[in-house]
Amino acid sequence: MRVWFYMSDLLKVCADNLVNQGVFSGVLWRVDQNSTPMFCGRSGTRDVSTGAFIPENPVFRVYSMTKPIVSVLALKLVETGFLRLNTPLAELDQRFSKMRVLGADGHLAPADGLITIEHLLTHRAGFSYDFTVGCPVAPYYRAVDIMGDGARDLSDLAGVIAQQPLVFNPGHSWLYSVSTDVLAHAIECATGFRRIWGRPIPCPILIFGGADMGFIPLCLIIWPLRICC
């Protein structure tokens, strides 16, 4: 037990040094052994602009880590036969049934095929991001504030994305994009669940902190002070 106290003190010193040096605004840690919490601690603040302390049980923004989580969830659904890789997105949401592609001449033409689950998983759907340099579709995304403040409902976000042109025909190329956000929406459509996080759909899927996880965390509405960026 004395070793644990020593390690706890050592971690505290290291964390304090990192915060004091300005490397991080705040650090939170916990060490478990055989699923039993041995010690935990925190240092610094959750928001440097306000100086607010890190709460005991904070919820962190995971940003692009939603991509592997949603992708694994989709693959589990494929594995159990709940979805197919070639399932058309339009089969789940008709708003994606008549996508258009922005040509080099600036004209829009009907897409030559439908977006599938596989396209969403592999970023080959033809979507983009508003910050993608040199992408002709990025200005369209910026014009509608595609990502907004991150609090837009997934279905609403999907609807806005469906109205924008594609960079290329589905499956014809690759581009890092909002595909995973649309994939999460597709999963919600396929399962009938409004919130897919922390649910066994349709088989047990272990997601740490799943009850508080989502594209719009429930606690963001109930208790904003728990959110840490």
46-86 pLDDT, tens digit each: 888 888 888 877 777 777 888 988 898 899 899 988 899 99
Q: Three-state DSSP class for 33?
A: strand
Residues 108, 34: Cα–Cα separation, whole Å = 58
pLDDT at position 4, please? 63
What are the C-alpha distances in Å from 26 to residues 16, 51, 54, 150, 220?
Answer: 9, 10, 7, 22, 20
3-state secondary structure 126-166: CCCCCCCCCCCCHHHHHHCCCCCCCCCCHHHHHHHHHCCCE
Residues 6+ apart with CB under 8 A from 83: 74, 77, 117, 187, 190
Q: Among all chains, which residue has been given the structure tokens 């190329």? A: 173
* Cα–Cα distance measured from residue 128 to residue 194, given in angstroms and rounded to the nearest whole number: 25
Domain-wise residue ranges, the chain: 2-54, 64-191
What is the residue-wise DSSP string for 56-89? SS-EE--GGGHHHHHHHHHHHHHHTTSS-TT-BH
What are residue 60's DSSP bridge partners? 228
> pLDDT for 131-145, tens place per residue?
999 999 999 999 999
Cis amide bond preceding 202, omega within 30:
yes
Task: Say which CATH topology domain 64-191 has.
Answer: Beta-lactamase (3.40.710)
Q: Locate tokens 């991509």: which residue? A: 67
Helix (H) or strand (E) holding 43: strand 36-47
pLDDT in tens, 155-178: 999 999 999 999 999 999 999 999
Q: Contact, 185 vs 158, CB < 8 A?
A: yes
More confident site: 116 or 31? 116
